[in-house]
Amino acid sequence: MDQMGLKQKLFKERYRKFADNLQRDELDDLLPDAARYIARLNSRPGNPVKTVILTEKFSFIVPRLGGNYVPEPWDSHILLGYGVRPEDLK
Amino acid sequence: MSLSSVSRLWNQFFFAEQSPLPIALFRIIYGILVILTLALLRPDWLNWYGVHAWLSLPTALKLEPGHRLNLFSIIPQSDAWIEALFWVALASAVLLTLGLFTRINSVLVFICLTSIQQRNLYITHGGDTFLRLAGFFLIFAPAGAALSLDRVIRIRRGKEPRTIQPRSPWAQRMIQLQLSFMYLVAFMVKVKGAPWLQGTALFYVYHLDEFRRFPIPARFFHPIVLKLGSWSALALEFSLGVLIWVKELRYYLLALGLLFHLWLEYSLNIPLFQWDILSAYVLFIDADDLSRLWNALRTFCFRLLRVHNELERQRVFGTRPE
């Protein structure tokens, strides 16, 4: 989102919200649907997507003395590894 | 306080007739906001709600079981029908804004908005929820009793006098209560968390890169400013939830609330959220003050037009106005 222009941000904000919800443990059921959508989006005839891996990337926001802010290093963990079936691409 | 006086106050608050001008103006702003909401959804309509959407209908129903008002689970599962639903929602929002067949269209807008949200609850924000809840009460409000094509038609047919007739405001009161509850709940949720009480909450908010809209001046990141900002937000949300009902304080609080939301609109990218909430502020403005504001605005526009015409005449004929 932070790399988008103002107009694009306006239209795509709901993707940020959806991505936020994908990371919630109680909404794990969302993940296979999202993986199937990504598989359909990226499959080409003769070159179907076989695996989708959803990864969460995060960086902690840590206040420092005097209100300074130094970005913390990014970390990541895998939310889902999904083996795509032929019927997922229909 | 006796039981009869409580009953009298209750009736006075919910049912003492008043001008429908505020609720009619709210209807127009509300309708425009629904149109804008749909316009922002338009490019990704099928990505969110189509047969092959990010979230499938069976998963949506599994995550939120039970009986729900959701047209998507009733209509045939084809993209053509889902596209048609978009145009029905848009048409009813446009007609509601114009005030044509107001009651029917307020029902349609409510059903469409509820369906859209139920189909994918995981992309909605608080403003969407507020629009949906306000839309329910708008169904019962005299929203077409002023500033509407319905009223123009009724006047032409001799079914209604030219002066706006006072109406029962109970539905308007429910939307007002909804707004004040929303602020109060926001306050109560925030005071549960240490960052708001310690005054560090805004530090985290302003460093969420994905939310950022326009650049925030460096002085706003000073710890004292952040503390004051966090605590002021708490105080304001409490005041807008409770003290808004004190008539003497109302306009001051509305002005502060307006500034608060405009600042959030500038700094955070949550499209339409601030405007969804601000739309209900008109319901707290007295109808006489609204009329005065309207007259002042009209006079200002006429003066502006006259000055423009004079300047134009000067430019064309090269003469100064007498």
* Mean of the per-residue pLDDT values of chain A: 89
Query: What is the percent of chain B with per-residue pLDDT over 70, rounded to a whole number?
Result: 99
Sketch the domain layout of chain A as residue ranges. Answer: 6-89
**What is the distance between the alpha carbons of residues B233 and B256, in angstroms, rounded to a whole number?**
10
pLDDT at site B221? 83
Instruction: Give A 9-48 residues with CB within 8 A of chain B.
Output: 9-18, 21, 27, 29-30, 32-34, 36-37, 40
The Cβ of residue B243 has, within 10 Å, a number of other Cβ atoms equal to: 16
Question: Is the Cβ of A5 closer than 8 Å to some Cβ of chain B?
Answer: no
Complex-level ipTM: 0.90
Q: At what angle do helices B126-140 and B102-119 cross, to 10 degrees?
A: 150
Whether the CB of B292 is below 8 Å from some CB of chain A: the reply is: no
For residue B130, the Cα-to-chain-centroid distance in whole angstroms is: 7
Other CB atoms within a 10 A radius of the CB of residue B166 amount to: 15
For the CA atoms of B31, B34, B35, B37, what is the dihedral angle to 10 degrees?
160
Specify the higher pLDDT residue, A63 or B23.
B23
Contact A18 B53 (CB under 8 A): no
Identify whether the C-beta of residue B200 lies closer than 8 Å to the C-beta of residue A62: no
What is the average pLDDT across B141-146? 94
Give the global pTM. Answer: 0.90
Domain-wise residue ranges, chain B:
17-168, 179-285, 288-322
pLDDT tens, residue by residue, B255-293: 999 999 999 999 999 999 999 999 999 999 998 898 888
State whether residue B125 sits within 8 Å of chain A by CB: yes
Tokens of A73: 């290093």
Q: Which residues of A touch B40 (CB under 8 A)?
A: 10-11
CA distance A47 to chain B (A): 20
Check the CA dihedral B288-B293-B298-B300 and report its sign: positive
Cβ distance A12 to B123 under 8 Å? no
Quick one: pLDDT at residue B87? Answer: 97
Q: What single letter denotes the amino acid at residue A26?
A: E
Kindly provide the residue ranges of all beta strands, DSSP E only, lying in chain A, ordered along the sequence.
51-58, 75-83
Give ∠ CA B120-B124-B129 in degrees, rounded to 5. Answer: 110
Q: What is the pLDDT of residue A24?
A: 92
pLDDT at res. B3: 83
Q: What letters, b where the CB count within 10 A reaches 16 and e where it falls short, cover B10-43?
A: eeeeeeeeebbbbbbbbbbbbbbbbbebbebbee
pLDDT at position B316 over 90: no
Q: CA B313, CA B184: separation in Å to the nearest integer?
A: 56
Contact A34, A54 (CB under 8 A): yes
